Amino acid sequence: MIGFIKGELLSIEGDSVLVDTGGVGYELLCSVNALTDLAPSLGREVSLWVHTHVREDALQLFGFPSRSERELFLSLLKVNGVGPKMALSILSGGRPDQIADMIEGGNAKGLSSLPKVGKKTAEQIILTLQGKLVRAETAKKSSKTESQKQIQTALLSLGFKAPRVDEFLSDLPKDIDVEEGVRRGLAALSSAL
């Protein structure tokens, strides 16, 4: 079972990406949002969370730029009538936190506006998942110090993507000075572009 891949992003075609890891090219199906986030990294190293889906006639890999997107995908698979392709389609309709908010808020109308989701499916998603979602991003945010929150705000306002900023902040000392944290963030995140 493959759970994580780090390697050079070779291509983006249709609804999938090709990542070279140690001379092996892995094709991963991704949401539209993930493809948009990954496009600037073409030819560079990327890290993706992976779900390996095995059927008797196929082995498919689904890639996610953030752990929260992968967790929401896995939660959607628990809903009766939602398979991996439909779950990926749902993730293409909004960011993980937006979709999770709709589920938690019982917003069937909002969910039914997502790709491939009708009224009955939206109600089934709410019935199955409401109150049961694991919100990895929320847990991370609550453990940040005040200086880390200020560093995060500064880096996001400079245009860096939230998953990359969160990954950078997870390795940062909790007691770091805001100015030093922003300086390190600019150096680390700019060099990875």
Q: What is the pLDDT of residues 62-74, one digit of tens each?
A: 999 998 899 999 9
**What CATH number is associated with residue 55?**
2.40.50.140
Q: Which two tokens stand for residue 125?
A: 């998603």
Average pLDDT over residues 51-79: 91
Give a yes or no: residue 72 inside a domain.
Answer: yes
The reply to whether the predicted model has a pTM over 0.75 is: no
Give a yes or no: residue 88 inside a domain.
Answer: yes
What's the CA gap between 72 and 87, in Å, rounded?
A: 9
Same domain, 40 and 55: yes
Count structural domains, the chain: 3
Same domain, 35 and 13: yes
Same domain, 74 and 128: yes
How confident is the model over 102-149, as pLDDT tens digits? Answer: 888 888 888 888 888 888 998 999 889 988 775 544 444 445 678 888
Give a yes or no: residue 139 inside a domain.
Answer: no
How confident is the model over 1-43, as pLDDT tens digits? Answer: 788 999 999 999 999 999 999 999 999 999 998 999 899 999 9
Instruction: Name the DSSP letter for residue 7.
Output: E
Give a yes or no: residue 193 inside a domain.
Answer: no
**What CATH number is associated with residue 159?**
1.10.8
CB atoms within 10 A of CB 190: 10
Q: Which helix (H) or strand (E) holds 32?
A: helix 32-38
Contacts 24+ apart (CB under 8 A), 148-154: 148/172, 148/174, 148/176, 148/181, 150/178, 150/181, 151/176, 151/178, 151/181, 151/182, 151/185, 154/178, 154/182, 154/185
Domain holding 19, by residue range, is: 4-64
Same domain, 18 and 30: yes
Same domain, 76 and 111: yes
Where among 64, 79, 100 does a domain terminate?
64
Same domain, 25 and 60: yes
Q: Which helix (H) or strand (E) holds 5?
A: strand 4-13
